[in-house]
Amino acid sequence: MHRKPAEIERLYIDFDCFFASVEQQLQPKLRKRPVGVLPFMSKASCVIAPSREAKRYGVKTGMRVKEVLSLCPDIIFVPARHDIYVQLHQQIYTTIENCIHIDQACSIDEVVCTLLSNERKQAEKLATQIRDALANTIGPYITCSMGFAPNRLLAKLAAETEKPEGMVIWQPQDIPKKLFNLTLPDIPGIGRGMQHRLNIAGINNIEALWALTTDAMRKIWGSIEGERFWYGLHGYAIDPIPTSRCMFGHSRVLTPENRIPERARLCARL
């Protein structure tokens, strides 16, 4: 039997434009300017992290350099420095741990925490404490958005609704009303392929998704994960099943001269 919390129990912290914000914190000349972090400096490369200033021009993660320049000619491109980002992640992790215990680092720029009974009543105070600690320890240009909700999925969604530097609290009684302001692609776990499956099943908005039964969602997902997703979306206390699989990614876009099998193979080995 799944338990349905009567109050907020999870805090999700999502750092804003993390790679770009780190570069702006470390390089004062980049502050308040549109910045695009590239995996490597090349006209054939793509942006893996735009700053908030670049996003105002419509720059998005995954855009090619040529397209980005057409939107924002004044953007400053910088190469990714993953060793630096990992070091900052570790410092950030320690800083947050001094305020609240972290259950899991979901990625280099996202963590989820379980709220103690006294913390559930003082969400805004806790958020301020974390922000102040990060600003004093790490620096004011590396900011985050926070979402408080009954479970991890809803807390992540809450954090993403008011970026950057948002602080959103979704109490159990706010669900599903808050969800109906979103679209299907806004929901973690609904990518292009899953959205296509939902559309085929006649599900085109959050209201229709919410109205599905556990059996129907399990059938569309093709596994037990559909049923787990239903419980998460409906505010039950359910977390992802831990796995032992670990990986890391490092994007590459091959330059034209490298788009032949032998050179592509060497790049893949690297």
Give catalytic residue positions. Answer: 110
Contact 15, 143 (CB under 8 A): yes
User: Counting every residue, how long is the chain?
Assistant: 270
Measured at the CA of 261, the angle between CA 259 and CA 267, to 5 degrees, comes to: 70
- Please confirm whether the linkage preceding 140 is cis (ω < 30° from 0): no
Distance CA 47, CA 63 (A): 6
Cα–Cα distance list, 91 to 86, 135, 138 (Å): 9, 12, 7
What is residue 34's DSSP assignment? Answer: -
Distance CA 184, CA 4 (A): 23
